[in-house]
Amino acid sequence: MKRLAINELAVFALAVQFLTRVPVPVGDAYTPARLAAAPRYYPLVGALVGALCAGIYLLAHASLTPAVAVLLALAAGLLVTGAFHEDGLADTFDGIGGGDRDRALEVMRDSRIGTYGALALGVVLATKAAALLALPPGRAAMAFVVAHGLSRLSAVLVIASSRYVRDHGAGKPTADGIGTGGLAVVLLTGGLLLAWLAFAGGATAALYAMAGALVGHIVMRTLFERRLGGYTGDTLGAVQQLSELGVYLGLLLWQLS
């Protein structure tokens, strides 16, 4: 049991290290197998990132304007993750914006941002801010936690059910790491987040949040899988971003209904 706990703690630490800029000393804990298993904790890491954003949002909301509070919270998320997923979103839209599959994959390797990527990133960030600004403070804080957690779950579902199309890249180490046990952990984490939202805001709120994440997942996945025939590390970031946005928009629809 102790060995299992130590192994899972090491896998969680690698998930934190992979998804964020938090300096996690892993030392001898790293193994390829543990890194491959790390996606099981992606939703939990996402929820923790969301909790950080929520805390900054609530602190800023208490002394500054709501708009500034939302922007500071979004900035905190960008800083703690190093804009990891946002970079993937921009690269994905640059890649699928023109050309065939091979050209798209080549463009997505380019570190420079293009017109399609810049526009996609700007629209997504602005829509996130607008949706969060329209929510009451308590609900916006919950939205950060749930959206960050469910959106990482959404990305893991792509890993579990699609094909990695590169020979190497950021997503390669985790491409084969989701087994039945790992998927169960992912789904349990997402279920607990939805249960918390249902307890705090009602079952309808949880349904709207889940539906929003699902729509974001389907829309983004349809865009890139038709062009690429599978996924890359960049497209996982794009799925996360659209699913996160979907949760915010779902909760906004719930708020307005």
Helix (H) or strand (E) holding 134: none
Instruction: Tell me if 142 is assigned to some domain.
Output: yes
Write down the pTM of the prediction.
0.94
Domain assignment present for 11: no
Q: With beta carbons less than 8 A apart as the criterion, state whether 232 and 164 touch.
A: yes
Residue type, 9: L
pLDDT one-digit tens code per residue, 144-187: 999 999 999 999 999 999 999 977 655 555 556 588 999 999 99
Torsion of CA 167, 19, 124, 75, to 10 degrees: -150
| 201 is a domain residue | yes
Nearest to 53 by CA among 121, 151, 175, 147: 147
33 in a structural domain: no
List pLDDT tens digits, range 95-110. 988 778 888 888 898 8
Residue 242 structural domain: 38-256
How many domains does the structure of the chain reveal? Answer: 1
| Residue 200: HSE in the Cβ half-sphere, 13 Å Cα cutoff | 15
Distance of CA 243 to the CA centre of its chain: 7
pLDDT in tens, 64-89: 999 999 999 999 999 999 999 999 99
Please indicate, yes or no, if residue 101 is contained in any of the structural domains.
yes
Token code pair at residue 72:
């500071």
Tell me, yes or no, whether 177 lies in a domain. yes
Exposure string for 146-158, b = 16+ CB within 10 A, e = fewer = bbbbbbbbbbbbb
